[in-house]
Amino acid sequence: MQLKYIPLDNIGVFIHTIDLEITNYVNNRLASFKLTSEQNLVMALLWEQEGISQNEISSKLNKDKASIARMVSTLEKKGYLRRVVCPSDRRSVEIYLTAEGRKLGTEVIPINKEILQVITRGMTIEEISELHTLLIKIRDNVNQL
């Protein structure tokens, strides 16, 4: 089936618009913590596993290394994490939470769970799984170019 081309009325624009709306919602929810949605992603990775490298964070979040370095620096200045040069590879920097960063997790992780509930409200597990599958197909289609 060939889709009719209607400018600004296509799946890519729709996904982009939804992404902006979700980002704005998350930023508003996290504003009192002075944490952006992007910084929240970095922190969420560290709340799951400390000691990962900046390169691993970059890879897992599909973000360029310079952006991750800036975010890590900002989060370090806020007192949420610290960088440690890897003893086995001095070119690599591992990221660890500070006590303040761990405390932040106790407050933000429940909000992250609420955000997920809001985003998926009214959807079944099967629908969420299907949406995930479809979005992966779209990503793969774009990445094949």
Q: What is the CATH number of the domain that holds 45?
A: 1.10.10.10
Residue 92 belongs to some domain of the structure: yes
Residue 108 belongs to some domain of the structure: yes
Residue 41 belongs to some domain of the structure: yes
Residue 79 belongs to some domain of the structure: yes
- How many domains does the chain divide into? 1
Distance CA 132, CA 145 (A): 21
Distance CA 38, CA 67 (A): 10
Residue 95 region by backbone torsions, left for phi larger than 0, else alpha for psi between -120 and 50, else beta: beta
Q: Which domain holds residue 59?
A: 11-140
Q: What pTM did the predictor assign?
A: 0.87
Distance CA 75, CA 79 (A): 6
pLDDT digits (tens, 9 = 90+) for 55-77: 999 999 999 999 999 999 999 99
Residue 3 belongs to some domain of the structure: no
pLDDT digits (tens, 9 = 90+) for 87-142: 777 778 899 999 999 999 999 999 999 999 999 999 999 999 999 999 999 999 99
3-state DSSP assignment of residue 15 = helix
Residue ranges of the alpha helices (H) in 3-143? 11-30, 37-48, 54-61, 65-77, 99-119, 125-143
Question: Are 4 and 24 a contacting pair, CB within 8 Å?
Answer: no
Residue 107 belongs to some domain of the structure: yes
